[in-house]
Each structure stands twice: as structure tokens, then as C-alpha cells.
């Protein structure tokens, strides 16, 4: 393998890709061919770190509830977060809100039409700016995402790590050279679709229009390209939530710290590195004045897990019906049990809430 691009005519690659797109590309998505920059932007933000199958329903719901950027900008944070609930990576949602209100206030609800202004918007990187620019306004900017990295590294035999600064420069430059400047939106969609349906992590090489010229296929390197140099380190965290119930109401608070799940709601939390025994976790809750000695758990859930990109969250939920209302900090709110559905919770907590909705009387786990 080589770090330099193999000497294959770039015009030939582009021509064959566009031919495949015209004759064989059957991939359907509701935003394909869309020219409204608001809808393109929304779809791209939703699809960051999200599978198309999952993001599709969220996209449709957002368009139904917020048909234009004005409607999104005027909605409350709570309503938007509730609609986003379950998608994860909530920084995307915060940036979505910020950018929508900025465009409404600073651009009179008209989405910017030039790449540099779009690129400067909160939460929009080079890829998303190129997608919006090319799809909505036919501007000549090439998208470079995971699909594009994979296609180009395999076809041209590029062993430079895609997550290195030099690698990103090489791929960005090559993508720009290959771009059809007259129909950049069509080309960008074609190469992303090709990476999604043909040049997948496990590619369909026998059905590939490039299998006579693809470096990786001809040299048996499809399994080793593209190359990444960084290994993701997973941080393990133990979350133990107390469902404190008093007179039919349950204590919740909004996570405002710079951490995962910012702006979402949660129950009183004790985070411990090592899994505690029942006595240890109850003593810790008593130290925080959440419980009195006479307060005993009604139920302790089984272990729940959620895998995030860089973190593994495990933990349990301890339901306690209190005899007296504890002295919690001012940022806590007591909410009726049947009103919890109005609040946006992280997926980890939603798993628990869904489990007790189907089985309202779980046994105490040992």
C-alpha cells in the first residue's frame, strides 16, 4: 500500500461513479434531492453519530412539529429536547437550538447561502457545511465523511490514517479534485450512497463497478483500509439512581454540568467507580440526607447498561418511598409520577422507565 494516490485518472473515477448513480443507485431517503437548506441541515445534524434507520423517524417528527427554522427557533428548549430524547449526543441538540435562533435573529430566518457563513454556524463542521452548500445551493464543496474516507482509501490505496491531520488533508484535497463542479450535490450524494450500500465496512466487491481498478480489491486489502491510528479509550462509570417518592411525587433535577446528558433530567445520583453492595449505597444516600434510617428500598432494579462513544455506563435504580420529604438542594423539583413523561431523560433512565411501565412491580434484585 502507498500513502500517495495511485495514478488512476481522477476523471475516470468521477465518470464511473456518476454512471453507477444514474443506473444502479436505488437508495431512498426522504431528504435526497431536497433543496431546502433547513431540512438538509436538520437531516445532517440528526445523522451525525446516528444510523439512518434510527434517524429517519426523528427527522420526520422534527419536520412535522417544526416545519421551518422559525418554528424550531420559537419552541422551548424543553419541547425540543423531549423530541430529541433517545437520539443521544445531546450537544447536537444544544447546537441545533443555538443555530436556529441565531439564523432567525441575525439572518431574518433566512439560511445563509455561502459556505464560509454556513461553516461558522454553531455545530456545523466542514462536512455538514459542504453538504448544505452543495445540496441546497449547488456550490462546489466536496463532502468528506466516513463513507468517503472508505471509498477513496480503498480505491486509491491510501494507507495514511484518516484520523491524522496529514491524512485528513490528503483526503480532503483528493475529494475536491474528484468533485464534479457542475453537479456537486449529485456527486456528493452519489459517493456517500456508494459507501453506504456497496463499499461498506464489509464491501460488496463482486457488485462493484470499480472492481477492475480498485487498489484494495486487486491487492486483497479491503479489510485493512481505511487506516485509523487512534484507539478509543472507554471510560467506565457506575451510576446509581435513587427514585425518591414522597406523597406520589418523585424528585428530579436537570443536569447542567459540562458532562454527558447536559440539559436532560435525572433522579438523585450517586456515582461510584466500583459496584457497591446494597448497604454501602444506602449508607451513602443517608450521608447525603436523602434517606432516614427507617427508609428502606421498595425495589432495586437489575443492572442497566448504556454504551456511549467513549463511555460505558452501568448502574441500578433504587426505589424508596419516603416517610418525610428530605432537604434537597434548590435545583431539585418534585414531580408527580404520571408527569415524568413530560421531561427529557437520557436513554439510560428511559430504559428503566420503560421497564417499570411494562412491569410496574419489579422484585428487589439481590
Phi, psi of 197 (to 5 degrees): -115, -20
Most distant CA pair in the chain: distance in Å?
Answer: 78
Nearest to 211 by CA among 199, 223, 201: 199
**Cis preceding-peptide flag for 236 (omega within 30 of 0):** no
C-alpha 212/C-alpha 206 separation (Å) is: 10
* 44 catalytic residue (yes or no): yes
φ/ψ (deg, to 5) at 246: -140, 120
Residue in the structure block whose three cell numbers are 428500598: 297
Strands (E), 130-284: 235-246, 249-254, 265-266, 269-272
Burial 51-70 (b: 16+ CB within 10 A, else e): eeeebbebbeebbeebeebe
Cell 459517493 appears where? 191
Can you tell me the distance from the alpha carbon of 335 to that of 77, in angstroms, rounded to the nearest whole number?
19
Nearest-angstrom CA–CA distance, 237 and 290: 22
C-alpha cell at 113: 447561502
Residue tagged active-site, from 34, 44, 74, 182 = 44
- What Cα–Cα distance (Å) separates residue 320 from each residue in 54, 125, 275, 298, 329? 35, 46, 19, 5, 18
Contact status, residue 141 vs residue 115, Cβ threshold 8 Å: yes
Rounded Cα–Cα distance for residues 13 and 213 (Å) = 9
| Residues involved in catalysis | 44
Amino acid at each position: 500500500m502507498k500513502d500517495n494516490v495511485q495514478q488512476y485518472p481522477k476523471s475516470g473515477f468521477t465518470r464511473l461513479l456518476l454512471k453507477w448513480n444514474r443506473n444502479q443507485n436505488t437508495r431512498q431517503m426522504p431528504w435526497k434531492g431536497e433543496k431546502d437548506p433547513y431540512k438538509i441541515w436538520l437531516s445532517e445534524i440528526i445523522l451525525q453519530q446516528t444510523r439512518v434507520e434510527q434517524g429517519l423517524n426523528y427527522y420526520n417528527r422534527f419536520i412535522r412539529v417544526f416545519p421551518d427554522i422559525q418554528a424550531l427557533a420559537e419552541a422551548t428548549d424543553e419541547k425540543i429536547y423531549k423530541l430529541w430524547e433517545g437520539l443521544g449526543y445531546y450537544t447536537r441538540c444544544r447546537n441545533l437550538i443555538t443555530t436556529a435562533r441565531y439564523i432567525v435573529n441575525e439572518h431574518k430566518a433566512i439560511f445563509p447561502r455561502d459556505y464560509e457563513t454556513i461553516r461558522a454556524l454553531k455545530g456545523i463542521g466542514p462536512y455538514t457545511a459542504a453538504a448544505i452548500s452543495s445540496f441546497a445551493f449547488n456550490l462546489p464543496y466536496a463532502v468528506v465523511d466516513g463513507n468517503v474516507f472508505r471509498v477513496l482509501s480503498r480505491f486509491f490505496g491510501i494507507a495514511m490514517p484518516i484520523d491524522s491531520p496529514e491524512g485528513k488533508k490528503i483526503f480532503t484535497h483528493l475529494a475536491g479534485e474528484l468533485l464534479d463542479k457542475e453537479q456537486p450535490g449529485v456527486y456528493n450524494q452519489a459517493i456517500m450512497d456508494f459507501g453506504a450500500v456497496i463499499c461498506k465496512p464489509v464491501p460488496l466487491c463482486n457488485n462493484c463497478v470499480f472492481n477492475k481498478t480498485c487498489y484494495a480489491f486487486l491487492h486483497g486489502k479491503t479489510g485493512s483500509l481505511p487506516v485509523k491510528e487512534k484507539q478509543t479509550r472507554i471510560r467506565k462509570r457506575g451510576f446509581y439512581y435513587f427514585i425518591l417518592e414522597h406523597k406520589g411525587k418523585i424528585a428530579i433535577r436537570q443536569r447542567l454540568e459540562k458532562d454527558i446528558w447536559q440539559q436532560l433530567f435525572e433522579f438523585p445520583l450517586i456515582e461510584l467507580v466500583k459496584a457497591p453492595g446494597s448497604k454501602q449505597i444506602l449508607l451513602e444516600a443517608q450521608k447525603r440526607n436523602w434517606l432516614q434510617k427507617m427508609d428502606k428500598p421498595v425495589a432495586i432494579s437489575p443492572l442497566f447498561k448504556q454504551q456511549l462513544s467513549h463511555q460505558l455506563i452501568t448502574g441500578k435504580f433504587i426505589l424508596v418511598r419516603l416517610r418525610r420529604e428530605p432537604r434537597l438542594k434548590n435545583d431539585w423539583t418534585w414531580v408527580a409520577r404520571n408527569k415524568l413523561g413530560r421531561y427529557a431523560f437520557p436513554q439510560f433512565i428511559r430504559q428503566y422507565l420503560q421497564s417499570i411501565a411494562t412491569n410496574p412491580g419489579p422484585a428487589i434484585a439481590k
